[in-house]
Structure 1
């Protein structure tokens, strides 16, 4: 199932709607997929220790140190790493690749499409189906597409695509971009392509390390592709604290902590899936669930009136107002959400708050 390039800016505001807009002060936040609400103490201390370096410009040596740390984490060479102000910056740079036709696999994070269409790049939407769990079908991607964007695991469907299906997207002259913003939240990262050449991979530190206010991530890819991606960046594109965060979060103790957090998230997800039953779409593998609930828009507003924020789903291409995205939290944190659902949609699920 496919959809050709719809007009922009007709749906720009919807495409730029993200979970932070659904969250708000005083609300129980199931709309934003950030672990823990704030960085762990050791990471805050590490960043605080870098404050004295803010009086000097980030140097090539600082950049190399961060690239070397990310490269070592994924078994790559530092020349195959580009440090970013979060994956969102990487998406904003995509028009610099000058693709003739971009294919964006949906439902998925919408910033790549916004950036490409804003940059004048034609976009072909490849829409996946709920009936088969939003499975990836490489044959649906137009052969003419010289840039393909796919999330793995995908936001908001929580689908983890087999790496072999993503490899099947590769063609001579085509860039395949895999958004792995949530891959470190999957125990063992089984389908990651971050260590392979021939694809472009974006990684984010935002989710696992609760750093949305800092903006930190990196791209992994062939050096010539990274050079094209970065050609229009300003001088000193990444600040000292973001560079330090990349180093800190790629070191062995952080990787061990992230793996334990991923295991906890998996266990919590399984509990929540069991409670929500048939409302859960597909086979979720990330720390969030896509739900489909009759009257979903009314339910979202009713939950908000009870102090609970969930993410609306109709801003994702291919989804509608009955779709909601819910972040996975611990069973104790999920209890108020489940109690509210038991009251508001008792016929849709049997919940024991």
Structure 2
């Protein structure tokens, strides 16, 4: 299980960024007169996962990504796998979607059986590792949820706390409809800075980017992502 501290409603591993990261963020403040330029941070994330930059979208935390997905992607039957962070379902409902739930059983250790996800679900959201149960689902089981015409959203906000990031799907380009969400706020104590990113097919990234406001990620957050 992940070792996390609860700061009000925030699950983080530390209550402040490390000194070297605070120094990088502080140094960025001299550049606040210019609009944010996310190209270097986007390239850094792409290099981190071995994907082209057009498969990366930087967001104001993973929470913004949930809203973008709910507003920008068509979905006739979205399904959220629970237990799960509440924001993905809330964002879908706020965008007018009727959301179905797949409830994993405590008796099964909250393990996912892909067969319980309805075949006609065209948007599936699942956390890995899952908040709040800390269950780490096998990557193969999650990849098995992919279908033609289905968007598979895997919330990996806590994956960088897993040794070796085993079972991650980040960087996979062979899974159709895959969207991986990452947060940089948990491990690095940056919840107040709001920085995360999406990894997806270029056409999905483009659709989400069109739904974003201009300059959604601040210069300090971009510097933190690059660092």
- Length-normalised TM-score, structure 2: 0.93
What aligned pairs does 1:235-274 form with structure 2 within 5 A after superposition?
235-248=214-227
| CA–CA separation in structure 2 for the residues paired with 1:32 and 1:57 | 29
| CA–CA separation in structure 1 for the residues paired with 2:108 and 2:73 | 33
Task: Identify the match of residue 104 of structure 1 among 80, 95, 100.
Answer: 80
Q: Deviations over 1:203-259 (max 9, x none)?
A: 0011100001000011001011111122221111111111111101xxxxxxxxxxx
* Residues 38, 210 of structure 1: 8 Å contact kept: yes
What aligned pairs does 1:76-155 form with structure 2 within 5 A after superposition?
76-95=51-70, 96-155=72-131
* Residues 98, 121 of structure 1: 8 Å contact kept: no
**Residue in 1 aligned with 2:3?**
none
Runs of 4+ in structure 1 over 3 Å off: none
**Residue in 2 aligned with 1:11?**
none
How big is the shift at 1:38? Answer: 0.4
Q: Secondary structure at the match of 1:103?
A: strand
Task: Give me the CA root mean square deviation.
Answer: 1.1
* Residues 128, 158 of structure 2: 8 Å contact kept: yes
What aligned pairs does 1:3-22 form with structure 2 within 5 A after superposition?
none
| CA–CA separation in structure 2 for the residues paired with 1:36 and 1:232 | 32
Q: Does 1:215 align with 2:194?
A: yes
**Residue in 2 aligned with 1:279?**
none
Q: Does 1:68 align with 2:46?
A: no
* Residues 10, 191 of structure 2: 8 Å contact kept: no
Q: Deviations over 1:98-121 (max 9, x none)?
A: 211111000010100000011011
Q: Does 1:193 align with 2:193?
A: no
Q: Which has the higher contact order (CA 8 A, sep 6+)?
A: 2
* Residues 107, 155 of structure 1: 8 Å contact kept: yes
Q: Secondary structure at the match of 2:185?
A: coil
| CA–CA separation in structure 2 for the residues paired with 1:127 and 1:117 | 18
| CA–CA separation in structure 2 for the residues paired with 1:205 and 1:118 | 25
| CA–CA separation in structure 1 for the residues paired with 2:65 and 2:192 | 17
For structure 2, the residue ranges without an aligned partner over 5 or more in a row are 1-5
For structure 1, the residue ranges without an aligned partner over 5 or more in a row are 1-18, 24-30, 249-353
- Length-normalised TM-score, structure 1: 0.60
How big is the shift at 1:138? Answer: 1.1
**Residue in 2 aligned with 1:49?**
27
| CA–CA separation in structure 2 for the residues paired with 1:162 and 1:40 | 31
Q: Secondary structure at the match of 1:55?
A: coil
Size of the aligned set, in residue pairs, is: 218
| CA–CA separation in structure 2 for the residues paired with 1:154 and 1:53 | 37
Q: Does 1:160 align with 2:139?
A: no
Q: Deviations over 1:69-122 (max 9, x none)?
A: 001111111111000100000001112102111110000101000000110112
How big is the shift at 1:147? Answer: 0.6
| CA–CA separation in structure 2 for the residues paired with 1:176 and 1:36 | 30
* Residues 81, 218 of structure 1: 8 Å contact kept: yes
How big is the shift at 1:55? Answer: 0.6
**Residue in 1 aligned with 2:213?**
234
